[in-house]
Amino acid sequence: MTRPAATAPVLTRSIATSPNRPTSRRKYQRYNALQTRPRCSHQPRLSAISRRRYHSHDHPAPAGPFTPAEAALLSAAYHHVPSHGFTPESLALGARDAGLLDISPSILRDGAFSLIRWHLHTQRASLAGKAEKLAAAEKDKPMTVAEKVEALTWERLKGNVEAGIVGRWQEALAIMAQPSYVPTSVKELAQLADEIVYLAGDVSVDPSWYTKRASLSAIYAAAELFQTTDQSPEFRETRAFLRRRLDEASQAGGAMRSIGEWIGFNAGAAVNVLRSKGVRI
Amino acid sequence: MAARTALRRALRPLRSAIIPSEQQLHLARPFSTTLPSRAANPSSSSSSSSTPEYAIPNPARPTHFGFETVTEGEKRERVAGVFTSVAESYDRMNDLMSFGWHRIWKDHFVASLNPGFSPLTSDTDPRGPQHILDIAGGTGDIAFRMLHTAHVLNANPSVRVTMSDINRAMLTVGKQRSAELPASQQAALSFVEANAEDLTRTRPLHPYPSPAEPTTHDAHTHKPEQAFFDPATATGSIPDASVDLYTVAFGIRNFSNIPAALREAHRVLKPGGVFACLEFSKADKHPLFNSLYKEWSFRAIPLIGQLVAADRDSYQYLVESIERFPSQTEFRDMIVDAGFVVAGEGYEDLTGGVAAIHKGMKPRA
Ligand SMILES: C[S@@+](CC[C@H](N)C(=O)[O-])C[C@H]1O[C@@H](n2cnc3c(N)ncnc32)[C@H](O)[C@@H]1O
């Protein structure tokens, strides 16, 4: 790779000035499939916790955006997930497809979890396009906000089927339940709920907004878990499960039950992962 | 022994000007170890080459030795002196500088690279076995871990490791230590003398002190044997695009010309190959922790160096060189300027930033 001759002055600047230079920002321009759009201003910020015990506490993994190098590695690896799971194998096979080396994915800080982040991010990003299709179909028969929430959540669940990862999702949940990845995983889930509520056209800015979002997160997570064991044609039972839960959510306690189930599963998965790594618990 | 004493003696007058003081501790030092771009005259840009002038090693150009300014050539000799004099007390020194963390950092560094990992497919990598080049390999801490991970944990005995250093004394200690490795790992390991800034000129390790050449005890009658590699004696070279993984741990801050070393890393790596660096870094995101760490390193370490190794100057240099090294983001930008691409922020802080891992990938042309 040849570098432009203009490198020297850039370096001079990069050494002499503060870290927030426009040059470096241009270089670190991220691949971000989600456009920035106005949305509720009171989104809570989940603080990052340390990824491993001896690591810094102030370096959260960038949740959504990916550098071009990451995007190239991860998009190639994603094709291997249906057959090899969210694993280092998929990453290495993807690197080979991209004309790179087995060692190349080692630049990804979170290994297989980066691949999960890629899945979550690209699936979430594709919802906007699906919302447009729904809106077009809606012309003759307008939908309520609640109906749109259900339709979009179902679209997101179908995304798992289309990507061929339903059979791999329990493994992924086990990785996501590892303590260092929980904050990012929870944040992704919250962002998905945001996106669905936003695309469904709910513009209310009142205290119920938090409740709605929390309920939707919990219901989505429960439905996704249900999906991993669903053998019915076209995941009909998952769809019915989703409907029931959304109906229940209007009654007190419904959301809490979903949250409880989700936590229960993830705690179990986390224990199994730790055991498989030789931790005696 | 005599050589080390002589080197120390040679260093002392040069070093005695530096006494750590409050003042120096609080000086803002925004510049890196190497200030090539400032030293080089931008108007006298060299020919049509795409290589910036500062990235070409020049023994006469000013650089830093700790807090002093010396020429690149002088720095190379004096760094060699430091490492010759600490070669044997080296492990102890690392423990002191990092409170013992360096072993955990090194384990994490190697685990995060996962050398020798290969997908479970019937066909082997069409690009052939993995080649790892451990630059500034010193006494072998990184190279031995790489071999263990690749050969044992990943059951991939085809992985080869080349350990390289500018200092024969360090490399000789490394070779002696490697005698304890399993034979198959020894067979996959080679030792090369080279300056990281110019990997086109190398030679296989000539043990130090050389059994054939006059020993250092004859220093009165003979010129003392040099511990550092003299490029005039080169017999080989590391070819372009021949390396899968280039590692440098606790070495790069000692280089006279870091951009030149990064350019060489880029040259020798295959497309898709990975540059990985473990180095002391800046803990300044945590002010209290940072000031405690600085107190410790500037006051205690040279003193302990004096007591443990009777070598205050070398330890003093090590502390200052850490202080001089660019911040995480500055160094990341230098890696990108050398033609690498990064993932995420391009670095990972360890223990609050006392050390950091930087990684970059050479993209496909
Ligand atoms: C602190 S030791 C690190 C050794 C080993 N990598 C480790 O982590 O234990 C630094 C090494 O850098 C080497 N070194 C310094 N300048 C160099 C250069 N220009 N080229 C190659 N090696 C160099 C020194 O000789 C020394 O062995």
pLDDT of amino acid A271: 65
How far apart are the C-alpha atoms of B303 and A91, rounded to whole Å? Answer: 48
C-alpha closest to that of B191 among B206, B181, B201: B206
Q: Is the pLDDT of residue A264 over 90?
A: no
pLDDT tens digits for range B265-298: 999 999 999 999 999 998 888 888 888 888 877 8
pLDDT of amino acid A252: 54
Contact A173, A262 (CB under 8 A): no
pLDDT tens digits for range B55-66: 777 777 778 777
pLDDT band at A141 (very low <50, low <70, confident <90, very high): confident
How many angstroms away from the CA of A260 is the closest CA of chain B?
A: 33
pLDDT tens digits for range B302-360: 877 777 767 788 778 878 888 889 999 999 999 999 999 999 999 999 988 989 999 99
Report how many domains make up chain B.
1
Inside any domain, residue B293: yes
Phi, psi of B285 (to 5 degrees): -75, -15
pLDDT of amino acid B120: 76
Pairing of strands B355-361, B347-350: antiparallel
Q: With pLDDT > 70 as the criterion, what percentage of chain B qualifies?
A: 75
Task: State the Cα angle at B211 between B89 and B187, rounded to 5°.
Answer: 75
Q: Exposure of A140 by Cβ count < 10 A (0-12 exposed, 13-18 middle, 19+ buried)?
A: exposed
Contact A34, A125 (CB under 8 A): yes
Phi, psi of B66 (to 5 degrees): 60, -125
Please provide the size of chain B in residues: 365
pLDDT band at B85 (very low <50, low <70, confident <90, very high): low
Ligand 1: does its nearest atom lie under 6 Å from the Cβ of B109? no
Contacts of A104 in chain B (CB under 8 A): 272-274, 361
Residue predicted with more confidence, A87 or B210: A87
pLDDT tens digits for range A174-226: 999 888 998 899 899 999 998 998 898 876 666 566 667 778 888 899 899 99
- B107-to-A278, B5, B142, B143, B332 alpha-carbon distances in Å: 18, 34, 9, 11, 22
Ligand 1 atom closest to the Cα of residue B228 is 25
Chain-centre distance for alpha carbon A25? 24
User: CB distance A92–B118 less than 8 Å?
Assistant: yes
Query: For the ranges A28-32, A257-261, B109-113, B143-147, which has the lowest average pLDDT?
Result: A28-32
Ligand 1: does its nearest atom lie under 6 Å from the Cβ of B249? yes
pLDDT of amino acid A86: 97
How far apart are the C-alpha atoms of B18 and B253, rounded to whole Å? Answer: 19
pLDDT of amino acid A17: 35
Tokens of B73: 């050539």
DSSP tag of A64: S
Inside any domain, residue B139: yes
**Crossing angle (nearest 10°) for helices B72-86 and B312-324:** 130
pLDDT of amino acid B58: 78
Chain-centre distance for alpha carbon B218? 31
Residue predicted with more confidence, A134 or B257: B257
How far apart are the C-alpha atoms of A62 and A117, rounded to whole Å? Answer: 10
CATH number given to A126-276: 1.10.357
Inside any domain, residue B103: yes
B37, B108, B329 ranked by CB distance to A8: nearest: B37
pLDDT of amino acid B86: 60
Inside any domain, residue B49: no
Tokens of A118: 């890629």
User: CB distance B285–A58 less than 8 Å?
Assistant: yes
pLDDT of amino acid A13: 32
pLDDT band at A16 (very low <50, low <70, confident <90, very high): very low
Q: Is the pLDDT of residue A75 over 80?
A: yes
pLDDT of amino acid A91: 97
Q: Would the ipTM clear 0.90, i.e. be above it?
A: no
pLDDT band at B140 (very low <50, low <70, confident <90, very high): very high
pLDDT of amino acid A10: 34
Contacts of A68 in chain B (CB under 8 A): 341
User: CB distance B274–A55 less than 8 Å?
Assistant: no
pLDDT band at B209 (very low <50, low <70, confident <90, very high): confident
Q: Is the pLDDT of residue A254 over 60?
A: no
pLDDT of amino acid B164: 98
Per-residue pLDDT, averaged over A266-279, amounts to 62
Per-residue pLDDT, averaged over B216-230, amounts to 67
User: CB distance B352–A68 less than 8 Å?
Assistant: no
pLDDT tens digits for range A192-201: 998 998 898 8
Contacts of A50 in chain B (CB under 8 A): none
How far apart are the C-alpha atoms of B336 and B331, rounded to whole Å? Answer: 9
Q: Is the pLDDT of residue A247 over 70?
A: yes
Q: Where are the domains of chain A?
A: 61-115, 126-276
How many angstroms away from the CA of A181 is the closest CA of chain B?
A: 15
Mutant choice from B284, B348, B354 vs A, greatest count of A C-beta within 10 A: B348
Whether the full predicted model's pTM is greater than 0.90, yes or no, is: no
Q: Could you list the residue range(s) of the whole structural domain that residue B255 is in?
A: 2-6+26-33+56-118+126-211+232-361
Ligand 1: does its nearest atom lie under 6 Å from the Cβ of B150? no
Q: With pLDDT > 90 as the criterion, what percentage of chain B qualifies?
A: 47
- A170-to-A217, B109, B271 alpha-carbon distances in Å: 17, 29, 35
Q: With pLDDT > 90 as the criterion, what percentage of chain A qualifies?
A: 44
Q: Exposure of B136 by Cβ count < 10 A (0-12 exposed, 13-18 middle, 19+ buried)?
A: buried
Ligand 1: does its nearest atom lie under 6 Å from the Cβ of B165? yes
Per-residue pLDDT, averaged over A19-36, amounts to 42
Q: CATH number of the domain that B331 lies in? A: 3.40.50.150
Inside any domain, residue B338: yes
A256 phi-psi bin (left φ>0, alpha ψ -120 to 50, beta other): alpha
Strand partners, B274: B245, B361
pLDDT of amino acid A270: 61
- Which of A101-110, B32-41, B222-231, B289-298 reaches the highest mean pLDDT? A101-110
Ligand 1: does its nearest atom lie under 6 Å from the Cβ of B97? no
Mean pLDDT of chain B: 80
Q: Is the pLDDT of residue A38 over 80?
A: no
Residue predicted with more confidence, B129 or B123: B129
Q: Is the pLDDT of residue A236 over 50?
A: yes
Residue predicted with more confidence, B264 or A31: B264
Residue A221 makes CB contacts below 8 A (sequence gap 6+) with A189, A258, A262
Distance A55 CA to ligand 1 centre (A): 25
Distance B137 CA to ligand 1 centre (A): 6
Contacts of A62 in chain B (CB under 8 A): 344-345
